[in-house]
Amino acid sequence: MVRQMVGEGEVDYVEFLIDNFLHVPVKEVAEAFDCPVGFHIMHSRFLESDEDHLISFAKRLREFIDAMKPLYVSDHLAHFSNPKGRQLYHLAELDYQRDYERVRQKVEWWQEQLRQPLYLENFPSIMDSGADAPEFFMRLAKETGSETLFDASNAVCAYLNCGLALDSWENVIDSTLHYHVASYRQSLTENPSVIVDSHDGLMSEETLGFLAGYKKRFEKPGATMTYERDQNIEYDSIVSDIRKLRAVFCDTEGAAA
């Protein structure tokens, strides 16, 4: 399906959720798509994993980086498990003030293992502490050389859940080249219900409006906007959403699936 999208010009590059491909011969993956690629790491869990595991993970990943020369390599800043090591059902957000120094050290070390800067994704906040996120990401970039993989729909989730103003992200948007966008939905829980990052349907009008309002900040040489869909994988639905992105950006920016 993704090859068809590339062939028909619906997408200009492909982002690999690269963990899923580390068991495949590098040459086979490198030859799979005749287009630029990005790498998004899902389960390094580099804030929590032991160093031996991460060194092995990085060694294998560097083979793909060297062979495929991705536009970017990105990862997640979140808690995958509780303090006793029990894996969480959903990722949990950092405490951006309390966790900063530990995160800074881990990011520096992890970048050394990968031998390149990382793009780190912002979280779809549900707690008021999410208000500290924009400043956290700017400080982290300044002190570690990392960048932000700015997820526009996650920022909308944070706005709807805890009132974090979208214009709070202006410096982050200006400082990076690589962006994500996806769908979200109401959680199944009640009292209160929250907005969750779902990747299972069409983008919201709020997200499209945010992109349109900040169009000039997103548009810059080398910028990418990756469309994410993890469930309800339907060709016509995905292409319809990608064309909405192209309409926002007057077909001047690429989109990826």
How far apart, in whole angstroms, are the C-alpha atoms of residue 190 and residue 225? 33
Q: Which pTM does this prediction carry?
A: 0.93
The sheet that has 254-256: what strands, in order across it? Answer: 14-17, 37-40, 73-76, 119-121, 147-151, 178-181, 224-227, 254-256
| DSSP 3-state of 89 | strand
- For residue 155, what is the domain's CATH number? 3.20.20.150
Structural domain that includes position 43: 2-256
* C-beta separation of 71 from 224 below 8 A: yes
- List the pLDDT tens digit at each of the 257 positions of the chain: 999 999 999 999 999 999 999 999 999 999 999 999 999 999 999 999 999 999 999 999 999 999 999 999 999 998 777 776 777 667 788 999 999 999 999 999 999 999 999 999 999 998 889 999 999 999 999 999 999 999 999 999 999 999 999 999 999 999 999 999 999 887 876 656 788 888 888 999 999 999 999 999 999 999 999 999 998 999 999 999 999 999 999 754 456 65
Number of domains in the chain: 1
pLDDT at site 256 = 61
pLDDT digits (tens, 9 = 90+) for 207-248: 999 999 999 999 999 999 999 999 899 999 999 999 999 999
Burial 29-46 (b: 16+ CB within 10 A, else e): beebbebbbbbbbeebbb
